[in-house]
Amino acid sequence: KERVFSGMQPTGSLHLGNYLGAMVQWIQMQETHECIYCVVDLHAITVWQEPKELRHAIRQVTAAYIASGLDPKKSILFNQSQVSAHAELAWIFNCVARLGWLNRMTQFKEKAGKDRENASVGLYAYPNLMAADILAYRATHVPVGEDQKQHLELARDIAQKFNNDFREQIVAAGHEDGVFFPQPEPVITGPATRVMSLRDGTKKMSKSEPSDMSRINLMDDTDKIADKIKRAKTDMEPAPPTDIEALKARPEIDNLVGIYAALAGISKEEGLKALQDTASEGPSIFTGLKRVLTEVAVEKLGPIRAEIVRLMDDPAEIDRVLADGSARARAIAVPILADVKDIVGLIRS
């Protein structure tokens, strides 16, 4: 049976990368699949979070889910820490995954930076918790942005090693094919699977980048969106790229065209044509592209922002959505965790 799981960290306000890279896909999948969407608060605390801001961010990400089009009646929406199966399974996976596997994770290296000795143990073990998030539901499909590919591969390795290590017990428990955990498949097919920073076309757009000018947040108002796009980095070339190949060689322009195409629901080729067609508008060859990009960004994100603001007016209602989602998530995860404990040889009463 196909089941979808994915999540976002409440480490700040969501941005266009989260929206185009993952959320658009999530919304589509809820029409065809059983979907579980999590606010991964335990992942967030792998780096320091001010408790008051964390609480606010958990509610705001939940509001952003709903405002973007996730329906708490169709999908399960909840926050990770309310379902203890995630943390319990993560511990078991800490004992399945190998140090060598985690040592290869590029996100840890990027996030820990130079001061690796001072990074939290949680940040290092993060991919094991992510594997537990997915496999606590035996989810088969995981819609994510490009940057999560390596973590998904690790989740697949953990699933496989668990199945191999406990094959005998898994078969004895009635899984004749010896497969307890499925191999979760990444679904990396959003309209823009890797949205880059507006200030540097070689870095991904990210919540934790210190410069707010590098990203468009779902909470940005019209003026802010316009200002950020206006000041987005371009290049000094005198003419627009002639074709997609030439576009690829110009990362900042490629990114702006990609964002425009994704928001407008058109192909990248059509996005490039819009740049070429407006290049004479001036004063810069990018003025026209930035104008149409601002228009479509405001048109798409304006209503989402307004809805987030409306929902945030009633935090108790958001907490109710999370409580209901958590109960439904628990109903799936608890029996799976019980089976895992039996398979591993732990006693439970």
Between helix 121-135 and helix 85-94 the angle, nearest 10°, is: 110
Would you say 9 is a known binding-site residue?
Answer: yes
Applying CB under 6 A, among 4, 8, 247, 285 the residue interacting with ligand AQP is 8
Q: Answer for the pair 185, 141: CB distance below 8 angstroms, yes or no.
A: yes
Site for ligand AQP in 148-167 (CB under 6 A): 148
| End-to-end alpha carbon distance in the chain | 29
Q: Answer for the pair 136, 85: CB distance below 8 angstroms, yes or no.
A: yes
Tell me whether residue 66 or residue 144 sits nearer to ligand AQP (CB atom). 144
Applying CB under 6 A, among 4, 5, 13, 21 the residue interacting with ligand AQP is 21
What order of strands is seen across the sheet that includes strand 185-187?
A: 76-79, 34-39, 3-8, 141-143, 185-187
Does residue 1 carry a catalytic annotation? no
Ranked by CB distance to ligand AQP, the top (closest) residue is 21
Q: Is 62 in the site for ligand AQP (CB under 6 A)?
A: no
Would you say 11 is a known binding-site residue?
Answer: yes
Would you say 206 is a known binding-site residue?
Answer: yes
Q: Compute how many other C-beta atoms are within 10 angstroms of the C-beta atom of residue 185.
A: 14
Tell me the one-letter amino acid at 87.
A
Q: Where are the alpha helices (DSSP H) in the chain?
A: 16-18, 24-29, 41-44, 51-68, 85-94, 99-103, 106-112, 121-135, 149-165, 167-172, 222-230, 244-248, 251-264, 268-278, 287-312, 315-344
Would you say 145 is a known binding-site residue?
Answer: yes
Site string for ligand AQP, 109-148 (x = CB under 6 A): -----------------------------------xx-xx
Site for ligand AQP in 190-219 (CB under 6 A): 193-195, 204-208
Tell me whether residue 301 or residue 340 sits nearer to ligand AQP (CB atom). 301
Phi, psi of 200 (to 5 degrees): -155, 110
DSSP sequence for 45-91: TTS---HHHHHHHHHHHHHHHHHHT--TTTSEEEEGGG-THHHHHHH
Structure tokens at 69: 């089009």
Applying CB under 6 A, among 5, 9, 63, 252 the residue interacting with ligand AQP is 9
* Marked catalytic residue, from 73, 74, 109, 111: 111
Does residue 74 carry a catalytic annotation? no
Q: How far apart are CA 289 and CA 276, in angstroms?
A: 9
Tell me whether residue 80 or residue 326 sits nearer to ligand AQP (CB atom). 80
Tell me whether residue 204 or residue 305 sits nearer to ligand AQP (CB atom). 204
Does residue 111 carry a catalytic annotation? yes
Q: Which residues are catalytic, by number? A: 111, 204, 207
Binding residues: 9-11, 17-18, 133, 145-147, 195, 204-208
Which residues belong to the annotated binding site for ATP? 9-11, 17-18, 145-147, 195, 204-208
List interacting residues with ligand AQP (CB under 6 A): 8-9, 11, 17-18, 21-22, 144-145, 147-148, 193-195, 204-208
